[in-house]
A = this chain, B = another copy of it.
Amino acid sequence: MQAELLIHADWILPVDPADSTLERHAIAVDQGRIAAILPRAEARAQIDAGRVLDLPGHALIPGLINAHTHSPMTLLRGLADDLPLMTWLHEHIWPAEGRWVDTEFVADGTRLAVLEMLRGGITCFNDMYFYPEVTARVVHEAGMRVLAGMIVVDFPTRYAESADDYLRRGLELHEHYRGNALVRTAFAPHSPYAVSEAPLMRVRTLADELEVPIHIHLHETRDEIVQSLREHGERPLARLERIGMLGPQLVAIHMTQLEDAEIERLAVTASHVVHCPESNLKLASGFCPVAKLLEAGVNVALGTDGAASNNDLNLLAEMRTAALLGKGVAGSASAVPAKTALRMATLNGAKALGIDDETGSLEPGKAADIVALDLGDPHTQPLYHACSQMVYAASSHQVTQVWVAGRQVIRDGRPLTLDPAAILADARGWRERIATADAAVVPAA
């Protein structure tokens, strides 16, 4: 068999139905796709490869999928931490966004996010922010995957005037990227409290027509539930079910407030949940019952949320937090094992975003979205179980090589499609502008 590239590694974690750990295997890549996965000796004998890459001491995993973020918010990373949620929003984040968010902010913030995410083994993300056409362009240039969110809120911003206007701009974006291999779209109505029922129902109809997911914050805090009960006489999930929004297209973010009957409704309707453990902890939103959701058969993916509430976009670390917190919340040391955490960060993400025919696992025929990690560092030695080591001990700086659809975007830890010096200079420029307008920031160094 001919292949453009053959990658040998000590361990391959394909995220297959058996949660295999393949030892001393190789992946053959051709025309952007995985052509074969086979034992080292067979690969050497059978594959006529244009290039052979030997990665001793490395593990290969599927590209990580960050199933919820607001990528441009990297520029507000750490602007205002450790504050009550309403102080944080009203006195810092919203004023900064109102003043600064424009196409340049979104381009520069997304570029910084893309640099950080690719460097940490994330090959695809599900985004929700203003000017998604700018995010889509930046991601396309970097050779990464994205679901650019067709954002909808009721209130006007510089980006759009009304819910109808948001939808109009979103649909333009969708048309522009129709058929693109790397850039797809999803509807991204912010939440049931920030979007009223008429536009929600329009999103429901359009999502059916266009066959795209609906990405929405849901049951993030107890206050959200209380407010919905007060204003609508029902919990937000019940409202969405009444509107007809539950189903395989629903990608429900956070879900820290869940009754058993609601978990059952999510399972029966095949709705997806995206767990963002570090954001939920940092904003003290509550605890998502991950083990219960998984037991009920709900597909649970993983997201970092935006950099203002995390503060990094590091899905390896998020896997660890999900595995650790999942045990604490379930009261069981065997809940959310390492292999489940890896699955949440890869295949479950692809399922939630409707792209699991294309990515999310290492399987012949799928796109070659592949990440190599060097597990030779002192903190990942000795190594008894590759998956366990990766989830409970590895750091994102151990990511050495990243391919998206067969194209190498990170080599030996260095980005091939981005200019880090320029991106960091832009970030420092934003810091100077933003800091002078936020009274709580210590003067620049």
Cβ proximity bits A105-131 to B, threshold 8 Å, 1 near / 0 not: 000000010011001100000000000
For residue A79, which residue of chain B has the nearest CB?
Answer: B384
Please, what's the 1-or-0 string for A305-341, where 1 marks a CB less than 8 Å from any CB in chain B?
0000011111001000101110110111111011000
Given A424-B376, A431-B384: A281 in contact with B327 (beta carbons within 8 A): yes
A278 within 8 A of B: yes
Asked if B284 and A381 make an inter-chain contact with CB atoms under 8 angstroms apart, the answer reads no
Give Cα distance in the complex from A388 to B428, angstroms: 17
For A115, A323, A376, A382, the residue with the greatest tally of chain B CB atoms inside 10 Å of its CB is A382
Contact indicator B385/A441 (Cβ below 8 Å): yes
CB–CB A445/B24 < 8 A: yes
Q: How far is the CB of A171 from chain B (nearest CB, A)?
A: 33
Query: How many chain copies?
Result: 2
Q: Which residues of B contact A312 (CB under 8 A)?
A: 379, 392-393
Q: Which residues of B contact A83 (CB under 8 A)?
A: 333-334
- Which residues on B sit within 8 Å (CB–CB) of A323? 82, 282
Q: Is A395 an interface residue (CB 8 A)?
A: yes
Q: Is the CB of B395 within 8 A of A311?
A: no
- Cβ-defined contact, B384 with A441, below 8 A: yes
A443 CB → nearest B CB, Å: 7
A435 at interface, CB cutoff 8 A:
yes
Question: In whole Å, how far is A438's beta carbon from the nearest beta carbon of chain B?
Answer: 8
Query: Using a CB-CB cutoff of 8 Å, which residues 1-50 of chain A contact chain B?
Result: 10-11, 21, 23-24
Whether, in the assembled complex, A98 has its beta carbon less than 8 Å from a beta carbon of chain B, the answer is no
Contact indicator A284/B335 (Cβ below 8 Å)? yes
**A238 on the B face (CB < 8 A):** no
Q: Say whether, besides A333-B282, A424-B378, A388 and B431 are in contact (CB < 8 Å).
A: no
Q: Does A420 contact B (CB under 8 A)?
A: yes
Q: For A330, list chain B residues within 8 Å (CB).
A: 284
In the complex, what distance in Å separates the CA atom of A283 from the CA atom of B327? Answer: 7
For A383, what are the chain B residues with a Cβ–Cβ distance below 8 Å? Answer: 78, 431
A166 at the interface (CB under 8 A from B): no
Residue A397 lies at the interface, judged by CB distance under 8 Å to chain B: yes
Question: Is A249 an interface residue, CB under 8 A from the partner?
Answer: no
Of the candidates B81, B313, B328, the one whose C-beta lies within 8 Å of that of A338 is: B81
Given the interface pairs A24-B445, A388-B81, the reply to whether A381 lies near B328 with Cβ below 8 Å is no
Which one of A75, A112, A287, A388 has the highest number of Cβ atoms from chain B below 10 Å of its Cβ?
A388
Docked pose: A284 CA to B395 CA in angstroms = 23
Q: Are B392 and A310 in touch, CB under 8 angstroms? A: yes
Closest CB in chain B relative to A140 CB, distance in Å: 20
Query: How far does the alpha carbon of A84 sit from the alpha carbon of B332 in the complex, in Å?
Result: 7
Residues of B within 8 A of A427 (CB): 378, 381-382
A182 at the interface (CB under 8 A from B): no
Question: Is A292 an interface residue, CB under 8 A from the partner?
Answer: no
Q: What are 28 residue pairs bridging A and B, where the CB atoms are less than 8 Å apart in the complex?
A: A10-B445, A78-B392, A83-B333, A83-B334, A84-B334, A85-B333, A88-B333, A112-B378, A112-B381, A282-B323, A282-B333, A283-B333, A284-B327, A284-B331, A287-B328, A310-B392, A311-B389, A312-B392, A314-B379, A321-B324, A325-B325, A381-B427, A381-B428, A383-B431, A384-B438, A385-B441, A385-B442, A395-B395
B-binding residues in A (CB < 8 A): 10-11, 21, 23-24, 75, 77-85, 88, 112, 115-116, 119-120, 278, 280-284, 286-287, 310-314, 317, 321, 323-325, 327-328, 330-335, 337-338, 376, 378-379, 381-386, 388-389, 392-393, 395-397, 420, 423-424, 427-428, 430-431, 434-435, 438, 441-443, 445
